[in-house]
Amino acid sequence: MAEASEETAAVRIDDWTLLLEGGRYRSHIAARDFSFALDFVPAQPVLLQGQSGFSRKGPMPGEASCYYSHPHLLVSGSIFTSARTRSVTGRAWFDHEWSNNYLGKAAAGWDWVGINLDDGSALMAFRIRDKRGGEYWAAATHRAADGGVRTVPPLQVRFQPLRRWRSPHTGVEYPIVMRLRAGDLVLDLQPLMDDQELDSRGSTGAIYWEGAVEAHSGGRVVGRGYLELTGYAAPLQL
C-alpha cells in the first residue's frame, strides 16, 4: 500500500506517487473522477527556514524542526477525466520538515502560511498558539525578489483574524481570513473558498483547516499560497 525511499524523494501511497528524478519532482495522483500527472521544476534555490534550516518552534532548544522549502516551483502537466485531457501550468510550493518534537506541552496548534508572491519573492510564516489561545512562538522567512533572505523574529510576526467561518460538518470555527504582519510586510490572506476543512479522524485523528489562499495588499492580489489552521477543534497530540 505504501513505500518511501530513505535516500531521495520517492514516495508511494497506493496509486499516488511523488518522485525526484533528473532535478524535477514528478507526481501522479488518481482520484475518483479524475487524475493528474504534474512535473515540478525548481526555479529558485532551496529556501532554508530558521537558522540554516533549523527552525525553532518554542523557547526550549528541543522544540524545533529541520525545515526547507522550494518556493516558485514551475508546474506543467495534465489533468485527466473521462471526457477530456487538459494541459495545465502554474506555480507551486514544496515543503519538507521533520522533527521528533513539533509542539511543546503548552502548545495547542499552529497557523502557517507559504506564499509565492507575484514579484518572485516568497514568504513562510507561522505562529504556534498556547492552550489558552495566546501566542506561544512565531517566526517567518522572507526571500526578496533579488534573492536576499531575511529571518523575521517572533515579536515581529502577527496573525490577526479578520473573519471566522464555522464548519457545517464539525461545528469547529476557524479564522479563515487573516491579516499577516511579518516585519514591515503586511498581507491579507483570503481563501479561494471557505470550506477547506479536513476531517482526518479516520487516519491521523485531527480536524483542521488547510487550503488555498490569495495574498492581498493595497486592494489587489499580490500572491498565492496555502494556509494551515490546526488545533481549533482540540489541542493537537503529536
pLDDT of residue 238: 67
The CATH fold assigned to 31-229 is: AttH-like fold (2.40.370)
Other residues' Cβ atoms within 10 Å of the Cβ of residue 91: 16
The string of pLDDT tens digits covering residues 104-143 is 888 999 999 999 999 999 999 999 999 988 999 999 999 9
The cell numbers describing 51, all together, are 537558522
Max CA separation in the chain (angstroms): 55
44: Cβ contacts below 8 Å, ≥ 6 apart? 70, 71, 72, 120, 122, 143, 147
The pLDDT mean for the chain works out to: 95
Please report the sign of the dihedral spanned by the C-alpha atoms of residue 171, residue 203, residue 131, residue 163. negative
Model confidence band, residue 68 (pLDDT cutoffs 50, 70, 90): very high
The string of pLDDT tens digits covering residues 206-235 is 999 999 999 999 999 999 999 999 999 998
Distance CA 168, CA 181 (A): 30
Q: Domain segments of the chain: what residues? A: 31-229
pLDDT of residue 74: 98
Residue 60 predicted with pLDDT over 70? yes
The cell numbers describing 19, all together, are 518522485
Instruction: Return phi, psi of residue 172, to 5°.
Output: -80, 140
pLDDT of residue 230: 96
Distance CA 74, CA 39 (A): 8
Residue 81 predicted with pLDDT over 80? yes
Which amino acid is present at 70? Answer: H
Residue 20 predicted with pLDDT over 90? yes
pLDDT of residue 202: 84
User: Distance of CA 209 to CAs 122, 139, 233, Å?
Assistant: 22, 20, 10
pLDDT of residue 205: 80
Instruction: Return phi, psi of residue 74, to 5°.
Output: -85, 125
Beta partners for 216? 188, 221
The cell numbers describing 146, all together, are 533579488
Other residues' Cβ atoms within 10 Å of the Cβ of residue 6: 5
The string of pLDDT tens digits covering residues 164-203 is 999 999 999 999 999 999 999 999 999 999 999 999 988 8
Distance CA 228, CA 212 (A): 9
